[in-house]
Homo-oligomer: A and B are copies of this chain.
């Protein structure tokens, strides 16, 4: 898990999001995400320090909940950007080409991703 995959097979060829250069940066609030992730990394290091210094359990739990919330907020932003660009473009392309599987696949993929966030 420490070496995340860089790409999946799901978005090659017909993926309207894969054509652009750089592929996803154009429609992503990249700087905001990177900044947020740096802060989350700092929060995780803070929790490490709390555990190391034997801080009270409840205070640690409060910080863990805060990091979880921050990750959820980020997920929601990423999901929104994905719907606005990748899914919307797939819908337009499916309509133009008559290949409805383009949008079917994107929706199935997005639904699966949302399902992983819910669980």
In the complex, what residues of B have CB within 8 A of residue A28's CB?
A: 51, 54, 57
**Roughly how many angstroms separate A26 CA and B16 CA in the complex, as a whole number?**
27
Closest B residue to A20 by beta carbon equals B54
Q: Is the CB of A88 within 8 A of B61?
A: no
Could you tell me which residues of chain A, from 30 to 58, have a CB within 8 Å of some CB in chain B?
30, 33-34, 37-58
B84 in contact with A83 (CB, 8 Å)? no
**Majority SS of interface residues in chain A?**
helix
Are the C-beta atoms of B79 and A61 separated by less than 8 Å? yes
Set B11, B63, B78, B79: member contacting A4, Cβ < 8 A: B63
Quick one: closest B residue to A46, CB to CB? B4
Cross-chain contact of A37 among B48, B54, B81, B91 (Cβ < 8 A): B48
The complex places the Cα of A67 from the Cα of B2 at a distance, in Å, of 10
Evaluate contact between A104 and B75: CB separation under 8 angstroms.
no
Contacting pair B65 A117 (CB below 8 A): yes
**Most chain B beta-carbon contacts within 10 A, residue among A28, A81, A92:** A92
